[in-house]
Structure 1
């Protein structure tokens, strides 16, 4: 089984992806963890590395190639990243998008990163603008197009104790035999 969990920073995707992977005994591969490791190796903060990636498209291509390869070659995996649903579109059994209002996400990020809410909000807005531009330029992906996802959840509305149960219920009720066939996402170019 291949599941994807995507969403913007502070949406709860990492927390929920980890719980979902544990519940179904899946390997949890986090694109964010890989990205932060690459940034740290090169001596950048994630925000600085995002901005560098605007100039050096190979950064995104390397990360995305790794995630796409995992999606196409490994079984029993949960991929978590902003683009996981797009990158694994041909292989994923289910694709989830998690989100929350920016104010809620900024509070969550501020708490986990020991920043002020204003700092977290500004950093998050800058990061999201950078990523949206890169995704559009590199792959012709509109990150705001949620039509490729099987389910979309507002984690602020449902809360941290309910969202994992909703995701679990969706996976448990999924019947691959009733799947009409996986259709690649139209108009997206994957050039690595």
Structure 2
């Protein structure tokens, strides 16, 4: 079974994907810009500003997405990334998590700290930058996910356990278990 899960920052992509992987005994694949920054011993905010926003060649986007594309070909996996539903062409189930920006900012603030107004502003800017980059690189509009998904879940008012249960029900309904 291969599952691809996408959503913007603060939707619970990593949390829910890891729950799915653990429950079904799947490999959890979640390689992100945060991981690249850690590998280079650079704080994420600095890496993002200098290497993602500050470059015109989209080097790190292509690097990350090429690696994820290769990993997405493996069986018995859960791939969690912004572009997972577009990258993982052979996924048995493609899921998109959505939440209102204000809720996402609150969740990010709880996870990473900071002041709400700053987190809200940076979340908005990151969304805009992501959209612009993915359109420029791949002609993908990350706000137009309806044709790429099997399941869209609005996670604005539900917790990760409830999201997991909805996904588990969909897996059962489709008889996708290993």
TM-score clears 0.5: yes
CA-atom RMSD in angstroms:
1.6
Residues of 2 paired with 1:91 and 1:53: CA distance? 28
Deviations 1:28-76 (A, max 9, x none): 11133xx21212334543344334224241111111011111112x110
Q: How does 1:128-143 map to 2 (within 5 A)?
A: 128-143=127-142
Unpaired stretches in structure 1, ≥5 consecutive residues: 177-192
Work out whether residues 3 and 93 of structure 1, in 8 Å CA contact, stay in contact via their aligned partners in 2.
Answer: yes
| Counterpart check, 1:65 vs 2:63 | no
1:162 is the counterpart of 2:169:
no
After TM superposition, the score normalised by the length of structure 1 is 0.83
State the shift of 1:157 in Å: 2.7
SS at match of 2:129: helix
List runs of 5+ in structure 2 lacking aligned partners: none
- Aligned counterpart, 2:15: 15
Deviations 1:138-178, CA, capped at 9 Å, x for gaps:
000000012211111111233333111000111111157xx
Partner of 1:5: 5
1:97 aligns with 2:96: yes
Q: Which runs of 4+ in 1 moved over 6 A?
A: none
How do residues 1-192 of structure 1 correspond to structure 2 at under 5 angstroms? Answer: 1-32=1-32, 35-51=33-49, 52-54=51-53, 55=55, 56-72=57-73, 74-88=74-88, 90-147=89-146, 148-175=148-175
Q: TM-score, normalised by structure 2?
A: 0.90
CA distance in 2, matches of 1:12, 1:23: 16
